[in-house]
């Protein structure tokens, strides 16, 4: 069993998700009685392989979830894949996977080009590091869910405005449900991102007090971009709340959720390819203590 | 001939005559009992709906089903109608055409509304009635089971019955449900009392709507309608207030000018608190000025908009027709193949019995010559003989089954009888 699990690679679950996505796309082209079962089968197989892969890494390598950028992206992809499967089973006539699986594959792709080096840890900073990573993860996943709901809202509203009957196999949830989901996702994303940012500051302060950092890196590009993302998400959440009792409110929320995903994507790309000291061991002592 | 059919539907029989020809459940049961007495040994199923009356008969060997003329006379006698009136409008079919027709009927392909699903239940009821009255037998049971299987395949493998075709059902299921997740917390406002109001309200209630208010220019008529529909009545002068509180409006007045103008709507818009408003304007001419549809949060659908969606759905059903016909053809071929294969059963049985008998005689002879064989060895030898016989008979059986797809395999059966000296 252990040997079998050790042979699971990223390609295994990425390929399963890709087949599930192709099944979703084929909904638009032709009807099939067994497609739903095939799609759920591949998505479930991918999720099981993905879970086993993460568990194996946590058990056999110094790579518990969130311990490196690589693991962080894979965990975010796992959460989205799980959400996608759950929503697909609960709403079989809605093409949830068509929206969520590309994000899952995108995050797996981001993991492949991100650093696998563990974030610096010491007993004192481990807790704050986990809190910081968890809040950022929650914020990112909430932004993704919100953007998908927002995109669906715009598609559904476009269909209703054009006065067209729903396309076979492409039935969207109601505007009421989507608007509620979008608003809540943006709320969660804003508060989680703010908590993630604050916990990051605390983490830096702890590092400094322990002599692991000379100064808090306020001007580090990652700190700046995270600050911008938090500011944007808070502003978006406030805007959604203030327009909630206006007729344009749901459309505004849908647009803001999509822009939030764009802001987050840019931030991730910046993190992947831009200069940063984020996650780099501040001093040799930390590396030693970790190793 | 093994299967026979006589019947007429909305395609050929005028409504007045259909009404006279239609059978109630009791009348159908009585007709089946009478058929059993008059044509013993034959099977029969009577399908009577508001759009069709069809009589299916079946029989084999010395109990072949009655001829078309006899069935027409029988139906005429049962309903007290001159047979001469029925003969020009009732059609008769035999064998594979009967199966093909029944499969089309059960799949909704012969219905007034293409793909309508209620007919499956009616076909099932007709078959149950025949079973209760002992006129269903192996042939009709096999045919009706195949018909229900075909209908299921058509439903699951094509989209022929999936799209809605009535304006109220489309209005609620495809548009109102696209905006609202639930209706039990929504206020529904009926303006006027056109004929589509009641049906739309029925769909809304099925969707969960509870809070319904009706306004009409005539307060007395509003009260009367409210009583009949089980809703609350409000004064027409309160229309603006009711519009403010409403989430969904169904408007069906006979007014010649818009009842709700942009000025009226803009006057209440700010008081609605941004809640979306779905308007199903089923009146002709329209009750809502179309400019209201461009206001934020308003989803306005006129009868023309909904009619266009209806037509699109109708066309979508038509596009599925070739796929449904292909399924019916496939199932008809399969059913007729099985039916023809049944006719070879006595010959196969005789063949098998003859070989078994010869095998048993030879085995007994062998065991007498080899008395030292123990029980296990005897069992092994007996099984080897049985396997050998089964393998020998397999090829003739496969040839018979293959030949059955293109009709009764008379030639092969005759050859087998002559080759193996089998009796008829």
String of DSSP letters for B95-155: THHHHHHHHHHHTTTTSSSTT-THHHHHHHHHHHHHHHTT---HHHHHHHHHHHHHHHHHH
Interchain CB contact of A7 with B (< 8 Å): no
Q: Confidence class of residue A291 from pLDDT cuts 50, 70 and 90?
A: very low
A168 in reach of chain B (CB within 8 A): yes
In a domain, B14, yes or no: yes
pLDDT given for residue A121 in this prediction: 63
Which residues of B belong to the active site?
A: 50
**Average pLDDT value over all residues in chain B:** 88
pLDDT of B100 reads 95
Residue B232 included in any domain: yes
Nearest 10 degrees: CA dihedral of B156, B180, B278, B314? 0
Say if residue B10 is in the same domain as residue B154: yes
Give mean pLDDT, residues A80-96: 90
Chain A residue numbers with beta carbons less than 8 Å from the beta carbon of B174 are 165-166
Task: Specify if B313 maps to a domain.
Answer: no
Shortest distance, CA B184 to any CA of chain A (angstroms): 14
Does residue B310 fall inside a structural domain?
A: no
Inter-chain touch B159–A159, beta carbons under 8 Å:
no
Does residue B224 share a domain with residue B367?
no
Residue of chain A whose Cα is closest to the Cα of B312:
A165
Number of domains in chain B: 3
- ipTM value of the model? 0.80
What is the DSSP code string of A130-186? HHHHHHHHHHHHHHHHHHHHHHHHHHHHHHHHTTPPPPTT-PPPPHHHHHHHHHHHH
pLDDT at residue A70 greater than cutoff 50: yes
Two tokens, residue B371? 């008395």
Report yes or no: A162 at the B interface, CB cutoff 8 Å: no
Residues 6+ apart with CB under 8 A from B392: B355
Question: Which CATH number does the domain housing residue B244 bear?
Answer: 3.40.50.720
Domain that holds residue B384: 343-420
Judging contacts by C-beta atoms under 8 Å, the chain A residues touching residue B295 are 247
Both tokens of residue B100?
Answer: 């093909």
Residues B7 and B150 in one domain: yes
B12 assigned to some structural domain: yes
Residue range A245-270: mean pLDDT, rounded:
90
| B9 and B74 both lie in a single domain | yes
Contacts of B301 (CB under 8 A, 6+ apart): A163, B171, B175, B278, B279, B280, B281
Give the side-chain half-sphere CA count within 13 A for B36: 16
Structural domain contains residue B311:
no
| Each residue's pLDDT tens digit, A39-49 | 999 999 999 99
Closest chain B C-alpha to A82 CA, distance in angstroms:
24
Mean pLDDT on A72-101: 90
In this structure, what DSSP letter does residue A120 have?
A: P
Checking if the pLDDT of B149 tops 70, the result is yes
- Given a contact cutoff of 8 angstroms between Cβ atoms, the answer to whether B41 and B59 are in contact is yes
How much is the average pLDDT of A28-45? Answer: 85
How confident is the model at residue A287, as a pLDDT?
Answer: 38
B256 and B124 both lie in a single domain = no
Q: Are residues B127 and B56 in the same domain?
A: yes
Of A270-284, B9-23, B322-336, least confident by mean pLDDT is A270-284
Are residue B150 and residue B294 in the same domain, yes or no? no
Residue B288 is classified by DSSP as B
B182 inside domain: yes
Co-location of B129 and B37 in the same domain: yes
Q: Nearest CB to B276: which of A173, A175, A243?
A: A175
How many whole angstroms separate alpha carbon B195 and alpha carbon B219?
A: 18
B140 and B178 inside one domain:
no
pLDDT above 90 (res A93): no
Which positions in chain B touch A155 (Cβ < 8 Å)?
A: none
Distance CA A80, CA B61 (A): 67
What letter does residue B287 receive in the DSSP assignment?
S
Read off the pLDDT of residues B159-175 as tens digits, 9 standing for 90 and up: 777 767 778 888 888 89
Lowest mean pLDDT, pick from A153-157, A206-210, B8-12: A206-210
Are residues B15 and B149 part of one domain? Answer: yes
Q: Tell me, what's the pLDDT at B158?
A: 85
SS3 B345: helix
- Residue-wise pLDDT for A237-255, tens only, equals 999 988 888 888 999 999 9
Q: How confident is the model at residue A193 (pLDDT cuts 50, 70, 90)?
A: very high
d(CA B79, CA B190): 45
Q: Tell me how far apart the alpha carbons of residues A190 and A141 are, in angstroms, rounded to a whole number.
A: 11
User: Which one, of B328, B321, B381, B385, lies nearest residue B356 by Cα?
Assistant: B385
Q: What is the pLDDT of residues B346-367, one digit of tens each?
A: 888 888 888 888 889 999 999 9
> Could you tell me if B49 and B106 lie in one domain?
yes
A33 reaches B (C-beta below 8 A) = yes
B236 and B296 part of one domain: yes
């Amino acid at each position: 069993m252990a040997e079998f699990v050790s042979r699971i690679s990223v390609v295994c679950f990425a390929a399963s998700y890709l087949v599930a996505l192709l099944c979703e796309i084929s909904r638009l082209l032709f009807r099939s009685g067994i497609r739903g079962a095939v799609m759920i089968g591949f998505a479930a197989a991918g999720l099981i392989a993905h879970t086993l892969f993460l568990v194996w890494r946590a058990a056999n390598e110094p790579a518990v979830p969130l311990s490196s950028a690589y693991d962080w992206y894979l965990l975010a992809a796992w959460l989205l894949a799980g959400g996608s499967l759950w929503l697909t089973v609960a709403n079989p006539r809605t093409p949830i996977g068509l929206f969520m699986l590309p994000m899952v594959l995108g995050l797996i792709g981001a993991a492949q080009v991100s650093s696998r080096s563990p974030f610096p840890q010491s007993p004192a900073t481990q807790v704050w590091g986990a809190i910081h990573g968890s809040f950022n993860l929650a914020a990112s996943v909430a932004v993704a869910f919100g953007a998908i709901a927002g995109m669906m809202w715009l598609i559904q509203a476009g269909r209703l405005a054009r006065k067209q009957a729903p396309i076979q196999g492409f039935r969207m949830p109601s505007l009421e449900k989507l608007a509620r989901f979008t608003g809540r996702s943006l709320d969660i994303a804003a508060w989680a991102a703010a908590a993630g940012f604050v916990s990051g500051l605390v983490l830096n302060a702890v590092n400094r007090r322990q002599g692991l950092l000379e100064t808090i890196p306020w001007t580090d590009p990652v700190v700046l971009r995270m600050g911008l993302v938090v500011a944007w998400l808070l502003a978006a959440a406030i805007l959604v709340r203030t327009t909630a009792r206006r007729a344009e409110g749901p459309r505004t929320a849908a647009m803001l959720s999509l822009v939030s995903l764009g802001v987050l994507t840019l931030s991730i790309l910046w993190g992947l390819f831009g200069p940063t000291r984020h996650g780099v061991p501040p001093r040799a002592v930390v590396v030693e203590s970790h190793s | 001939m093994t299967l026979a059919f006589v019947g007429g539907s909305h395609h050929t029989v005028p409504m007045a005559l259909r009404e006279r020809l239609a059978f109630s459940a009791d009348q159908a049961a009585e007709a089946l009992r009478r058929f059993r007495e008059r044509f013993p040994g034959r099977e029969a199923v009577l399908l009577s709906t508001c759009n069709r009356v069809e009589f299916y008969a079946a029989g084999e060997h010395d109990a072949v089903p009655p001829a078309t003329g006899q069935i027409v006379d029988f139906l005429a006698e049962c309903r007290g109608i001159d047979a001469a009136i029925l003969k020009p409008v009732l059609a008769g079919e035999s064998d594979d055409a009967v199966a093909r027709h029944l499969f089309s009927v059960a799949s909704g392909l012969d219905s007034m509304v293409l793909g309508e699903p209620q007919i499956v239940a009616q076909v099932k009821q007709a078959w149950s009635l025949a079973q209760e009255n002992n006129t269903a037998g192996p042939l009709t049971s096999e045919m009706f089971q195949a018909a229900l299987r075909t209908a299921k395949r058509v439903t699951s493998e094509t989209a022929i019955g999936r799209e809605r075709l009535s304006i109220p059902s489309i209005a609620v299921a495809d548009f109102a449900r696209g905006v609202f997740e639930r209706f039990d917390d929504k206020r529904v406002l009926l303006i006027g009392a056109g004929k589509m109001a009641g049906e739309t309200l029925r769909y809304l209630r099925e969707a969960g709507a509870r809070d319904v208010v009706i306004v009409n220019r005539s307060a007395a008529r509003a009260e009367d309608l409210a009583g009949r529909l089980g809703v609350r009545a409000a004064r027409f002068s309160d229309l603006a207030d009711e519009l403010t509180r409403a989430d969904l409006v169904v408007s069906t007045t006979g007014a010649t000018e818009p009842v709700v103008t942009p000025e009226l709507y803009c006057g209440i818009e700010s008081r609605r608190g941004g809640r979306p408003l779905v308007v199903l304007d089923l009146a002709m001419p329209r009750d809502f000025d179309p400019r209201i549809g461009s206001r934020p949060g308003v989803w306005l659908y006129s009868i023309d908009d909904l009619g266009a969606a209806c037509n699109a759905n109708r066309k979508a059903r038509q596009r599925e027709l070739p796929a449904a016909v292909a399924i019916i053809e496939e199932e008809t071929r399969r059913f007729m193949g099985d039916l023809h294969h049944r006719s070879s059963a006595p010959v196969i049985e005789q063949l098998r019995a003859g070989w078994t008998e010869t095998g048993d005689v030879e085995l007994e002879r062998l065991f007498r010559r080899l008395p030292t064989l123990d029980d296990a060895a005897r069992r092994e030898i007996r099984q080897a003989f049985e396997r050998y016989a089964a393998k020998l008979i397999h090829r003739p059986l496969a040839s018979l089954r293959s030949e059955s797809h293109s009709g009764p395999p008379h030639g092969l059966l005759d050859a087998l009888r002559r080759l193996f000296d089998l009796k008829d």
